[in-house]
Amino acid sequence: SGEAPQNPVASRKSGTVFERRLIEAYIAENGRDPVTDEDLSTDDLVELKTSRTVRPRPPTLTSIPSLLSVFQNEWDALALETYTLRQQLTQTRQELSTALYQHDAAVRVIARLSRERDEARDALSRVSVHGGQTTNGEAMQVDSSELSGDLIAKFADCNRLSKTRRKRPIPDGWVTSDALSSFSPVEKSKPLYTNTRSLAVNKHGDSALVGGVDGKLGVFSIPDKAIIQEMNAGPGAVTDVLWLGDRMVASTSAGNVKIYEKEVEVSSFSGHAGEVTALAVHPSGDILASVGVDKSYIFYDLTSNTIATQVLADAALTTAGFHPDGHLFAAGGVDGQIKVYDVKSLTNAANFDSTGPITAIAFSENGTWLATAAKGSTAVSIWDLRKASIVHTINLTSPISAVQWEFSGQFLAIAGPSGLVVQQYSKTTKEWSEPLKAAVPSVAVAWGLDAGTIYCLDAEGSITTLTER
């Protein structure tokens, strides 16, 4: 207060002398010693014995001395508040300095971990993974083994048998351009499974294979218009389906590939560390392939029900297909590349760059063309494998969900949310035309027997049949 204390007391914490009324008021408000900032109570105050000074009677505010006394009290309060604020400022600066130091350390640790993660990913993408285990092996094995001699012989036999493929005539009774132009929807099934992704029609053209997000796999009888067989392929959603003769194959988001025969599961593979995104069957019929988000593709030997080989790519894979000669395997990636592999050596023979993650690929039976579509793109690219370049682009008005060539290599079916389009390439005129365009929203498409029917699957799980009226 700037005056000699009338009732002095000393703090046990700091040993400082205070005016009792002032220190008690401070303790009541803060509970601490104003000098050392330690906890302080009135019990910690020691009264001091001094000669009492007689103070004059307090003046009133009507005189200059009384005003000076009021100003003095206000000044004392202001000085005390300023002292407290300075203490708080010092403490806040210390806390801010500590927080900034911890933030800088955290940023350094995150940067180091990110660098180590990228290095590990790069190293993993350079590793070839092969497995010789049977159906229930869950761990991927890394070794330097190659494909067995029996598999390589099957590849060679298939390639040798296909040398006359380009010279074969169009089968009798095959659909013509005029007939195709008169195709229209003739019937639509009720919704079969929700959030379906793929459709496969067997070689007899009387059964369709579909699956749902709940892991259900069903065989839809086209003549009876009903599900006649149902299997549980779960856990996980069914991501792709295909026929192996009379056997059925399904892949799931849980990383499994299952083979069924008359509703009985005869084989199960779990080589992928994550969702299996697509399936493909080799022209020989003895080799099955799958690709997944774990950046790998797997070949399965169906004669021995074993994983023949598993190889890592440099990006997650979304689509797959075998060349009709059987010597090439193509897989589309989320990095926008179509990766073409030699099936004998398992080496990357070529890469074709697209505009985005690949959503669909299909080899033409002419052996030289590959049709591809990218996510979000409204164009289908036709690649010439001999020139490694795009020879034709089919521009549509909406994104593409699926592409599918028929057996003769003349017609290409293109499915999307806005409908179905069929493009035709004429060998005589060497020109493209569009014999069919139908407003049938589709997520998948399949050709029927002799290409005389087209089946479209929509997002609600309904199958629409298009044929000549």
Give percent of the chain above pLDDT 70: 88
Whole-number Å distance between alpha carbons of 268 and 233 = 10
pLDDT at 368 over 50: yes
Alpha-carbon distance values, 344 to 147, 157, 256, 309 (Å): 7, 12, 25, 11
Query: Which DSSP state fits 39?
Result: B
Give percent of the chain above pLDDT 90: 41
Whole-number Å distance between alpha carbons of 407 and 256 = 29
Query: Which DSSP state fits 443?
Result: S
pLDDT at 101 over 70: yes
Higher pLDDT, 243 or 141: 243
Instruction: Provide the pLDDT for residue 157.
Output: 66
Mean residue pLDDT of the chain comes to 85
Question: Max alpha carbon distance in the chain (Å)?
Answer: 131
Measured between its terminal Cα atoms, the distance across the chain in Å is: 108
Instruction: Provide the pLDDT for residue 135.
Output: 40
The region of weakest confidence among 114-118, 218-222, 434-438 is 114-118
Helix (H, G, I), strand (E, B), or coil: what is residue 100? helix
Whole-number Å distance between alpha carbons of 406 and 453 = 11
Is the preceding peptide bond at 235 cis, omega within 30 degrees of 0?
A: yes
DSSP per-residue letters across 412-433 = EEEEETTEEEEEEEETTTTEEE
Does the pTM exceed 0.85?
no
| pLDDT tens digits along 295-317 | 999 999 888 888 888 898 889 99
Going 158 to 159 to 160 to 166, the CA torsion angle's sign is positive
| Beta strand pairing call for 453-457 and 463-468 | antiparallel
Whole-number Å distance between alpha carbons of 67 and 60 = 8
Residue 150 pLDDT class (50, 70, 90 cuts): confident
Going 353 to 355 to 358 to 359, the CA torsion angle's sign is negative
| pLDDT tens digits along 121-144 | 777 655 544 444 434 434 343 333
Query: Which DSSP state fits 292?
Result: E
Q: What is the mean pLDDT of residues 151-174?
A: 68
Higher pLDDT, 2 or 372: 372
